[in-house]
Amino acid sequence: MIILDLDNNMIRRSVLLSTILLSFVAATAYSQEQLETHFAISEGGTLTLMVPKPLGNYTNFSSADGKSSLIFGPSPSPPFLINIYTVIPAGVSDSNFMRNALRRHVEDDATKYAVSAVEPDVQIREFDGPYVSGYSFSLTDRAPKPDEYKYLTEVMLRSGRLVMTGYVFTNDGASDVVDDAIEMLKNARYEDE
């Protein structure tokens, strides 16, 4: 209820109290380590991510032309950018075929990026989560330009019919971001409509 004949001091105290209460509610709601977030995928269905608190809120989500993309960042401290792209491949239902195709794609990308990497050999890591299976690799750019990222981690995984590719770009001091992003993707869940 708004009372219009309050003096300015009373209004300022009410606004201040409301701001404090809203801040407390927001902090309480986000005090958990992860925030469950749902995204509608353009081909149908919902992607659920448990977003780790350090990653903050996504900055952009778009869903068009049969592909959806999600961007976390860029963040100045620690410096990182996470791009996640999703697609539902047409006519692919064999899980072994899909698993092999994901691995080949990750191996091809690793070979392509390894040319400018510090690491002599690229290690492809396989992982399974409660609802996903996939592969990842990490590389260090041999000579990053001043406004580029030094480290790249690529994750490609499948949850049901949905294929997700995540690119995690970081600089020094952001190794926790990589761990958080991989954990978020390992626990991703896609649900058909």
Could you read off the pLDDT of 147-170 as tens digits, one per residue? 899 999 999 999 988 999 999 999
Which positions of the chain have pLDDT values less than 50?
Answer: 1-32
**Of 185, 174, 87, 89, residue with least CA distance to 136:** 185
pLDDT value at residue 37: 86
**Of 10, 16, 14, 85, residue with least CA distance to 47:** 85
Q: Is the pTM of this model over 0.85?
A: no
- Pull the structure tokens for residue 134: 């996939």
DSSP annotation of 45 reads S
pLDDT value at residue 21: 26
pLDDT value at residue 163: 92
Distance CA 181, CA 192 (A): 23
Apex CA 129: angle with CA 125 and CA 132, to 5°?
90
